Structure 1
Amino acid sequence: MDTIARLLAQRLSTQFGQQVIVDNRPGANGVIGSTSVYRSPADGYTLLIQTSTFLVTPMLLKNVPYTVEKDFTPISNLGSVPMIMTANPNLPYKNLAEFLSAAKTDSSKFTFSTAALGSPGHLAQEAIKRDAKISIPIVPYKGTGPALADVIGGHVSSTIDALPSSLPHIKSGKLKALAVTSAKRIPQMPEVPTVAESGLPGFEVTSWYGLFAPTGLPAPLAQKIQKEVAIAMKSESVSKALTDQGFVIQGSTPEELASHVKAENVKLGRLVKDAKINIE
């Protein structure tokens, strides 16, 4: 998210003729940064980039002061990053289909690591467990690095994480790629099947990134910002840097992001309920 924000801010600074500043405010699954934007004036000067976790956090935490659909103005779906399920190279399974077959026989031999409860990778794991009807313990870690490290070290069987953080370890042979969570295979690794191809038809869970403003932003201003953002996302300096990392650029309209948020709220809400996820 920081990479996307900084590339976009640099390009928009040129287009707007004034400095666009990135202000990282991490903590509480994104609630701290999101709340600061929620409480800001709806004048177009304060914007928020968030991932799909943005929708899930209010479902998991009490006392979150906002709801996404009511308290934010959608501007643009910037795009998405496919996630990939990886395993320790010593596991004898070549792909997810073999992994699931073995897990159905005896799931006690398997564990998942996740960078954070409620993260896109965690939700993808819960969706696989639900759809494949298997029970594999999920071990939460404090960040992507430790979650990947314990798979590499053989302490955990598998993990699901965004492509940019996993790809270097796959190329070096420290991780084995089992499946991608996107609807289609990815150009970076066309030989790796999708989860849907591995026995779970219709499966798709990606980490998407949206641009939002506080609620009440006038529609003409939202449309003006979206047009500038679409130009920036398609510029060579931004698009090449992102697509090289597996990012799928969209730059949608405010209406398209609003529709996407509505559909994702239903889909992810059902998954949170089915998996009985609770982080308090």
Structure 2
Amino acid sequence: MHTFAQRMFHGALSALVALGLLTATAASAADPYPTGPIKLVLGVTPGGGTDVIARALAQKLTVSLGQSVIVDNRPGAGQTIGAAFVARAPADGHTLLFGTQTFAANPSIYPNLPFDSEKDFVPVAFITRLPYAIFINGQLPAKNLQEFIALAKSKPGDMNFASAGASSLPRIAGELFKLRTGTDLVHVPFNGTAPAVMSVVAGQTQMWIGNFLTMEPHLVSGKLRALAVASEQRYPNAPTVPTVAEAGLPGLHLAAWYGVMARTGTPPAIVERLNREFNKALADPEIKQLLVRDGAEPGGGQTPQQFGEFLKAQMKEFQDVARKANIVP
């Protein structure tokens, strides 16, 4: 039988152990974030519109988080190299993916991705969307969308559309255009947006569906012609270009978008903190001006859950288009 002294000793020991556990738990809950530099991983090369926006946001978050936010470009394989890198990173919020609509399209294009797009990532913040437009070579006789559709139907299999790769949104957009219009345009993939656009400028291909970024010089020179904006509103920087509905093809709404994701398992408190910081950066007048200048629509204010629902809807839409168009890499 325990003596009174023994009981007192064991009771005190238990209290100390419990206090230690409570202290450790409190210390864990109060662990600072971030504890070091944050990598914002992009699956595209430096210098493009995606890279410019990511770097502007990284500068704002460097200040607000008190740690360096570094843009880490890892291009290639339809942006899957960058995504795979993030999927293998520790789930501590220090390695993030700055993804685009290609992230949502890849599961429908590539059967053996080195990651699970739905299970390996959690949504953090929706950044922005950039409405797409239908562009054609300026030397074509078609002056509007209906004339181009008629021209394409008169030459089945003889006209091409360019894309930035097998799983790029311009590829999905081109295939959706074919389905909606009953045209037979041949897909010609390029390694990125710049060479794809230049192929249309040079007349090697006839159509490109993409955003207005870097298009102004080609439109001013007449080498490209914008037929319609694939959104419900006209593009503010090109107000004379009709919407697809005004041009006789309602319902064809397409846009590029950017969003931030983290590795699954990242603590919810860190995800929420990052969401607040990105939304705060998107509300900054300098960032707003940058986005509006390029015709983008800031997405600040969305919760991770709202971005997650959007992401699921995008994956479903791309899956349907890929199936109907029999898209393969």
The TM-score range, normalised by the shorter chain, is over 0.9
Structure-2 separation of matches of 1:196 and 1:266 = 24
Partner of 2:235: 186
Cα distance, 1:10 vs. partner? 0.5
Cα distance, 1:125 vs. partner? 0.8
Over aligned residues, Cα RMSD in angstroms? 1.5
| Residues 124, 181 of structure 1: 8 Å contact kept | no
Partner of 1:222: 271
Is 1:273 the counterpart of 2:329 in the alignment? Answer: no
Q: TM-score scaled to structure 1, two decimals?
A: 0.94
SS in 1 for 2:272: helix
Cα distance, 1:242 vs. partner? 2.1
2:141 to 81, 87, 92: 92
SS in 1 for 2:210: strand
Q: TM-score scaled to structure 2, two decimals?
A: 0.81
Partner of 1:133: 182
Is 1:256 the counterpart of 2:309 in the alignment? Answer: no
Partner of 2:114: 65
SS in 2 for 1:26: coil
> For residues 109-140 of structure 1, what are the alpha-carbon distances to aligned partners after superposition, in whole Å with 9 as ceiling and x for unaligned?
52211121221111111111001121111111
Partner AA of 1:266 in structure 2: K
Cα distance, 1:11 vs. partner? 0.7
**Long gaps (5+) in structure 1:** none
Partner of 1:31: 80
1:82 to 113, 120, 131: 131
Structure-1 separation of matches of 2:278 and 2:141 = 46
Structure-2 separation of matches of 1:28 and 1:106 = 32
How many matched pairs? 279
Partner AA of 1:180 in structure 2: V
Structure-2 separation of matches of 1:70 and 1:227 = 23
76-85 vs 163-172, which deviates more?
A: 163-172
196-205 vs 228-237, which deviates more?
A: 196-205
Partner AA of 1:273 in structure 2: R
Among all aligned residue pairs of Structure 1 and Structure 2, give the percentage whose two residues are the same amino acid. 39
Q: 1:98 to 1:67 in 2, by over 3 A?
A: same
Structure-1 separation of matches of 2:111 and 2:157 = 33
| Residues 84, 166 of structure 1: 8 Å contact kept | no
Is 1:149 the counterpart of 2:206 in the alignment? Answer: no
Runs (4 or more) in structure 1 with deviation over 4 Å come to none
Structure-2 separation of matches of 1:176 and 1:95 = 9
| Residues 108, 318 of structure 2: 8 Å contact kept | no
SS in 2 for 1:3: helix
**Long gaps (5+) in structure 2:** 1-49
1:205 to 251, 254, 272: 254
| Residues 158, 186 of structure 2: 8 Å contact kept | no
Q: Which has the higher relative contact order, 1 or 2, with Cα contacts under 8 A spaced 6 or more apart?
A: 1
